[in-house]
Amino acid sequence: MAPPKARASGRLKVEIQIMKRISKHVAFSVVGSVIAAIMVLTPAWAESEAESAALPLPSISVMVAQKKSIAEELMITGSFAAGANVQVAPLVSGLAVTEILVEEGDEVKEGQILARLDPVDIELQLTQNSASLVRNDADISQAKNRIEQAKIKKEQALGDLNRTKKLRSTGLSTSEQFDQRRAAYDLATAELAEAELSLTSSQADRLSIEASKKELELRKSRTEIRAPVEGYISKRLVEHGMISNPGGGSMFNLVAKSVVKLVAEVAESDLPKVQVGQKASIAVNGYREALGGTVRLISPEVDPATRMGKVHIRLSDGIRVPLGAFGRATIWFAKGEGVSLPLTAVTFGADGPTVQVVKDKKVQVRNVATGLLGTTEIEITEGIEPGETFVVRAGSFVRNGDLVNPVVISELK
């Protein structure tokens, strides 16, 4: 019989062998389970990938970048007005309108007669003035004659006075005779002064009458209402039989030199860009072609309520547009040539402007540098080369790395 120690050692070896066999069975069982799971799942993955590969790619409108001319411009709107509106009013009052020689729209020259007032009252006053001049001529002649007579009388009185003085020194004349001669001389001197004063008064009257005549002649000339400058009649406000009144308003409105301008409103943020002398193209309803113009005046004030300023654009000479009509002007700030994209293709974010480029059906988001800004396009100075394809309407439809089916279009609609 074996000792107890030997028996214990034999049992330990048996237990170890059993544990090893159990471990192998467990391991085989786990591996088998995993392999079975893989065999079950693998066909599902393969099927999913196959289905994904079979789905069509989303179609995205794209354009090909091209190098072309671009202009930075500003579009503004406003109404047409006279470049210089001249109000033609009568300069004499109380006279009836007898003739109207022009109508609205008529071209007129400087000095041309537009209307006539009744001159009868003024002509009557001129006749009376002429009679006054004749009477004044007679008064002046009489005053001159009196002066001559008074001079002669004074010379005679002076001679008598001197002779009396000599006779008085020899005792041949009395003091009474001397006093008589002295009084006669003084009287002759006073008469001469009076005659000279009468002549002066008559001459002053003549100046007044002549001044009155000039005034009447001026008033008569003003019965012909004349154009102060060359231009055309924009409004006729006078009617036959109306009584002239200088303070009652104008008879005609005249566009000086036929110059018409567009008075347009510009946002205060755009005002610094506008400069006198810049060229503009103006679209007007009813006109097939745009009209040319030039910026002539920039208002120094901005409306505090609307934050808008006014810009005056003068039309080219000879162009006549109905005053008050609506106009849309485009002012060009700068022109250049380079790669330009539609504004819809550029996204402006915190990291700067970006464009979605499509290469090998894959979307790439690129940072770009911009230049001139047009009405519908923007110049790209860096980031895109001519010939590259870009997404026309950038945004959240596609993201960086997406696969797409690019559909090339020639123009943005």
CATH of the domain at 376: 2.40.420.20
Alpha-carbon distance of 308 to 130, in angstroms, equals 63
CA gyration radius, the chain: 55
Is residue 159 over pLDDT 90?
A: no
Shortest CA distance to 186 belongs to which of 145, 144, 165, 158? Answer: 158
On whether residue 20 sits in a domain, the answer given is no
- β-bridge partners, 88: 252
Tell me, yes or no, whether 137 and 196 share the same domain. Answer: yes
- β-bridge partners, 256: 231
Is residue 408 over pLDDT 80?
A: yes
- High-pLDDT (> 90) share of the chain, %: 61
- Say if pTM beats, i.e. exceeds, 0.85: no
Sign of CA dihedral 144, 148, 149, 154: positive
Tell me, yes or no, whether 94 and 124 share the same domain. Answer: no
Tens digit of pLDDT for each residue in 222-258? 999 999 999 999 999 999 999 999 988 899 999 999 8
Alpha-carbon distance of 365 to 349, in angstroms, equals 12
Tell me, yes or no, whether 65 and 156 share the same domain. Answer: no
User: Hey, is 249 helix, strand or coil?
Assistant: coil
On whether residue 277 sits in a domain, the answer given is no
Q: Which of 221, 245, 275 is the last residue of a domain?
A: 221
Tens digit of pLDDT for each residue in 263-281? 999 999 999 989 999 999 9
Alpha-carbon distance of 349 to 372, in angstroms, equals 18
The residue range of the domain holding 107 is: 84-118+224-253
What value does the mean pLDDT take over residues 126-138?
A: 94
pLDDT at 374: 81
Shortest CA distance to 335 belongs to which of 73, 71, 67, 74? Answer: 71
Tens digit of pLDDT for each residue in 188-224? 899 889 989 999 999 999 999 999 999 999 999 999 9
> 45 vs 293, which has greater pLDDT?
293
Tokens found for residue 334: 């700068």
Q: What is the mean pLDDT of the chain?
A: 84
Tell me, yes or no, whether 154 and 245 share the same domain. Answer: no
Is residue 48 over pLDDT 80?
A: no
pLDDT at 411: 82
Alpha-carbon distance of 398 to 391, in angstroms, equals 9
Sign of CA dihedral 403, 404, 405, 407: negative
Alpha-carbon distance of 380 to 368, in angstroms, equals 7
Q: How many domains is the chain partitioned into structurally?
A: 3
Tell me, yes or no, whether 233 and 114 share the same domain. Answer: yes
Tell me, yes or no, whether 237 and 216 share the same domain. Answer: no
Tell me, yes or no, whether 400 and 361 share the same domain. Answer: yes
Q: Are 237 and 89 in contact (CB under 8 A)?
A: no
On whether residue 76 sits in a domain, the answer given is no
Tens digit of pLDDT for each residue in 346-393? 999 888 999 999 999 999 999 999 998 887 889 999 999 999 999 999
pLDDT band at 28 (very low <50, low <70, confident <90, very high): very low
pLDDT at 396: 63
On whether residue 182 sits in a domain, the answer given is yes
What value does the mean pLDDT take over residues 24-51?
A: 40
Tell me, yes or no, whether 143 and 114 share the same domain. Answer: no
Alpha-carbon distance of 260 to 256, in angstroms, equals 9
Tell me, yes or no, whether 111 and 124 share the same domain. Answer: no
Tell me, yes or no, whether 246 and 114 share the same domain. Answer: yes
pLDDT at 410: 85
Sign of CA dihedral 159, 161, 165, 171: positive
Tell me, yes or no, whether 174 and 109 share the same domain. Answer: no
Q: Which of 221, 242, 266 is the last residue of a domain?
A: 221
pLDDT at 308: 95
CATH of the domain at 236: 2.40.50.100
Q: 59-64 and 389-391 as β-strands: parallel, antiparallel, unpaired?
A: antiparallel
Tell me, yes or no, whether 162 and 212 share the same domain. Answer: yes
Is residue 6 over pLDDT 70?
A: no
